[in-house]
Structure 1
């Protein structure tokens, strides 16, 4: 029974690996470990799924250095699994860890996907509506718990280019639905602290993983840990689909 069980788990794991890699533009490594038994497979039940990956690049050029997902109690269509397709019959709850490097974050900021979202932005500051484009944004993670951001923006309709740099300490608000910032210091060309704070929060909002197409997965942030050059993000997610065929 154990050999049969291992073969079933390995087969499902391989199908899931193919499912995940087919949705990525690039990946260094993806491993899926499935825990179940043959009887449960025939009933469409899986006890647990563990997914790990390295160097994964998603469709909008979002790269993650490392990814870990743990899922308990998964329900699948057993008939489709036999023919090489994994389809969830109900959403599954998961715990997620994502490791992003400073280079990963700046890659996302310079991607066509986010560059398009950085055009014709509006924010409310000092009772006025400000229209602008973000021409360039670079983020640095030089120390624990803090981030530095250098931004060049074009104010409209004056076509006035402004530049600023700021250091901030991010923290979670609204039960993990929003990342807020405590501005520690800022330097800018005629820009108020209120404007800089709102603008930085807008950029962090653009970097929110929930703005990227994660193939049927929604994420609620639980906490994050910023270290020099990298950030580890922990969250809870609901996985709706694998979007796959072998």
Structure 2
């Protein structure tokens, strides 16, 4: 007969689920599994916390295909449980895995937030300062551990559309907080402006910056990046100071 989760576990699962959901713009599926037993709970001990989310839409219109996080041996304030809260008495470190698809990164690139950031910059093109307005940015994950970007950029002053196309290799930054693009290579398109390319490179890093995926009281540090056709997988260390609950 399958073991039914104790009342304490059920209450904690529900509190964490409500707390996490409140931080997301959207979520398709969220499953939280907190393992403990009443005796340990009274002593403030939780064996493990597992979070499994799908279709999570974070800030800045960034959708995550899936996120799994696990922390073990969590110390909590036993009194907080009575109030439906999960109050950690000390920070804990766990593991996380985040999957982003090409479609989701494209959506972020073409969001108002990103477009307005790029067009707020004046960029040197052929020696002249121009106001740039992205018309369409096409971000692809073609395989071979590369990303490819094709963009149509309107130069506002002379109403002329320029194409920018390049591939690059994503790498985890030294401090593990973001993904940087290296080995930028141009296709057949002529490079119209190193500054414009740099702006797009920086914007890619910003979209893939791990602080975008932080939830309140939880931050991630990337250990490994896997680039496949159509998707990016980030293996990370999760630093947890707080587990959001329904009345945090």
Interval containing the TM-score (normalised by the shorter chain): 0.7 to 0.9
Q: Deviation at 1:4?
A: 8.8
TM-score (norm 1): 0.82
Q: Helix, strand or coil: the match of 1:224?
A: strand
Structure 1 stretches of 5 or more lacking a match?
A: none
Q: Helix, strand or coil: the match of 1:118?
A: helix
Question: Deviations for 1:196-245, whole angstroms, at most 9, x for unmatched residues?
Answer: 65234212222124342632222211111111111111111212333332
What is the CA–CA distance in structure 2 between the aligned matches of 1:219 and 1:47, rounded to whole Å? 21
The aligned counterpart of 1:119 is 119
What is the CA–CA distance in structure 1 between the aligned matches of 2:54 and 2:28, rounded to whole Å? 5
Structure 2 stretches of 5 or more lacking a match?
A: none
Cα separation, partners in 2 of 1:187 and 1:237, compared to 1, 3 Å: farther
What is the CA–CA distance in structure 1 between the aligned matches of 2:47 and 2:124, rounded to whole Å? 49
What is the CA–CA distance in structure 1 between the aligned matches of 2:152 and 2:80, rounded to whole Å? 51
Cα separation, partners in 2 of 1:213 and 1:223, compared to 1, 3 Å: closer
Q: Deviation at 1:43?
A: 2.8
**Residues 1:233 and 2:234 aligned together:** yes
The aligned counterpart of 1:205 is 205
TM-score (norm 2): 0.81
The aligned counterpart of 2:145 is 145
Cα separation, partners in 2 of 1:97 and 1:4, compared to 1, 3 Å: closer
Residue correspondences, number:
244
What is the CA–CA distance in structure 1 between the aligned matches of 2:146 and 2:245, rounded to whole Å? 39
Give me the CA root mean square deviation.
Answer: 3.2
The aligned counterpart of 1:218 is 219
Cα separation, partners in 2 of 1:46 and 1:128, compared to 1, 3 Å: farther
Q: Deviation at 1:150?
A: 1.2
Cα separation, partners in 2 of 1:130 and 1:35, compared to 1, 3 Å: farther
Q: Helix, strand or coil: the match of 1:242?
A: coil
